Amino acid sequence: MKISKDDFSSVFAQVITSKRPLILSPRGKSVSFLCTPVAMTDEAIIFRNSIPVDILPEIVNSTEFSLVCENYQLVSAALFAHGTDIRFPTHHISVLPQSRSDERHVFSTEEHAEIVIHHPFDAGTQLRRRLYDLSKGGLSFRARGQTRLMQPGRILSQMQLIQAGRESELKSGRVIYIKQIFEESGRHFHQVGVQFISTP
């Protein structure tokens, strides 16, 4: 459902005040960017440019870009780089479908949330990774890089969530994507997306 910019502006104002970075994703690329919005005009959202110079031409030449802000999704056929700024046109803003599986919580660094994964091939080996977000339908976590273990289609049958010293069992899941995310500092990490496939 498409909505007006006025409806979106009130939500976006809170994002600017909190200086919370949003994920900008070019279509067809296995890479995304954490960008902090600094302003919104009648025509575009303005971000600090966190896209590395060496891949900037390839990224801006993509055919479609998406940006998720709270419960809203913005889609654009163009992205404009102006020196230290990126401009994302606001011609099309839509409301994301709302269901229990879509309601996700993004963990801040202060929340110290981790996921423990039992290695599917090496009994007794556990992998601890920082949890990025969690919903009824799945989760994503940070990885140091691409490995044979974390490939799309891989089944993770045993996982636990650890937060504030408490541990809870999670559903089994299937890896559905892995992508590289660049931070504004220039550092990057890999985000692994997992879709739940069974109940505990």
Per-residue pLDDT, averaged over 105-124, amounts to: 82
Residue identified by tokens 């011609």 is 91
Clarify whether residues 108 and 80 are in a common domain.
no
Clarify whether residues 64 and 112 are in a common domain.
no
CB 67 within 8 Å of CB 87: no
Share of the chain above pLDDT 90, in %: 14
From CA 128, how far away is CA 142, in angstroms rounded?
Answer: 10
Residue 162 pLDDT level (bands cut at 50, 70, 90): very high
CA angle 200, 124, 166 (to 5 degrees): 50
Of the candidates 95, 118, 149, which is a domain's last residue?
95
Clarify whether residues 89 and 173 are in a common domain.
no
Kindly report the pTM of this predicted structure: 0.70
- Looking at residue 100, its pLDDT comes to 44
Clarify whether residues 88 and 159 are in a common domain.
no
Most confident of 147-151, 164-168, 190-194: 190-194
Does residue 135 carry a pLDDT above 80? Answer: yes
Residue identified by tokens 């990057």 is 188
Q: DSSP assignment of 42-73, as one string?
A: SSEEEEE--S-TTTHHHHHT-S-EEEEETTEE
- Residue 191 vs residues 24, 42, 93, 112, 146: alpha-carbon distances, Å: 14, 33, 25, 17, 9
Does residue 101 carry a pLDDT above 50? Answer: no
CB 149 within 8 Å of CB 197: no
78: containing domain: 5-95
**CATH number, position 51:** 2.30.110.10
Lowest-pLDDT choice from 71-75, 135-139, 185-189: 71-75
**CATH number, position 142:** 2.40.10.220
- Looking at residue 35, its pLDDT comes to 85
Per-residue pLDDT, averaged over 10-19, amounts to: 77
The count of structural domains within the chain is 2
Clarify whether residues 127 and 161 are in a common domain.
yes
Does residue 139 carry a pLDDT above 50? Answer: yes
How many Cβ atoms sit within 10 Å of the Cβ of residue 84?
9
Q: Which residues pair with 129 in a beta bridge?
A: 115
Q: What is the mean pLDDT of the chain?
A: 81
Of the candidates 74, 95, 116, which is a domain's last residue?
95
CB 151 within 8 Å of CB 145: no
Per-residue pLDDT, averaged over 21-35, amounts to: 85
Does residue 77 carry a pLDDT above 90? Answer: no
